[in-house]
């Protein structure tokens, strides 16, 4: 298994992977248009774990020049508890260090208790004094 930036030709495969492996409730639907926009803006942001031809994990390591943001940490259900999530987190953190980042936040759904353990095991904590405010943008 290797970790690397996703290739442009894998974006459709990543979307299919997320449908099976990621928590998809309480979020806008992922689209090829949106994922392509991310890839074109910052091709190194989408980190994939691949085993042969198969994607077995992902994380989006977004850097806006100010802060470091983690999204879409997902591991194939059949490959969980192998350390893949932790390796993806470490790869994202290394990316951020190389860019000059000093603090990372991770978007984790409150109800996704299965994910809380991996984040806590890697030094992340819920920040109770902040709330995320959202507003969907219409087209």
Delimit the domains of the chain by residue range: 2-121
The answer to whether the CB of 81 falls within 8 A of the CB of 114 is no
Tell me the pairing of strands 46-51 and 54-63. antiparallel
Per-residue pLDDT of the chain (139 residues; tens, 9 = 90+): 999 999 999 999 999 999 999 877 777 788 999 999 999 999 999 999 999 999 999 999 999 999 999 999 999 999 999 999 999 999 999 999 999 999 999 988 888 888 888 888 888 898 888 887 877 787 6
Domain 2-121 has CATH 3.20.20.80: no
Query: In the sheet that 104-106 helps form, which strands lie side by side, from edge to edge?
Result: 2-5, 46-51, 54-63, 68-75, 104-106
Q: What does the pLDDT read at residue 115?
A: 86
Q: What does the pLDDT read at residue 131?
A: 80
Distance, in Å, from the CA atom of 61 to the CA atom of 89, rounded to the nearest integer, reads: 9
């Amino acid at each position: 298994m290797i970790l690397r930036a996703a290739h442009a030709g894998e974006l459709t495969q990543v979307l299919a992977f997320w449908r099976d492996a990621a928590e998809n409730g309480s979020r806008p639907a992922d689209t090829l248009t949106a994922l392509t926009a991310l890839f074109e803006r910052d091709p190194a942001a989408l980190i994939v774990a691949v085993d042969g031809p198969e994607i077995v994990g992902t994380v989006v390591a977004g850097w806006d020049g100010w802060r470091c943001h983690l999204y879409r940490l997902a591991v194939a259900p059949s490959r969980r508890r192998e350390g893949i999530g932790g390796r993806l987190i470490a790869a994202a953190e290394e990316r951020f260090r190389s860019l000059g980042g000093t603090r990372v936040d991770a978007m984790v759904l409150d109800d996704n208790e299965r994910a809380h353990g991996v984040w806590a095991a890697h030094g992340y904590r819920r920040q109770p004094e902040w709330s995320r405010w959202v507003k969907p943008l219409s087209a």
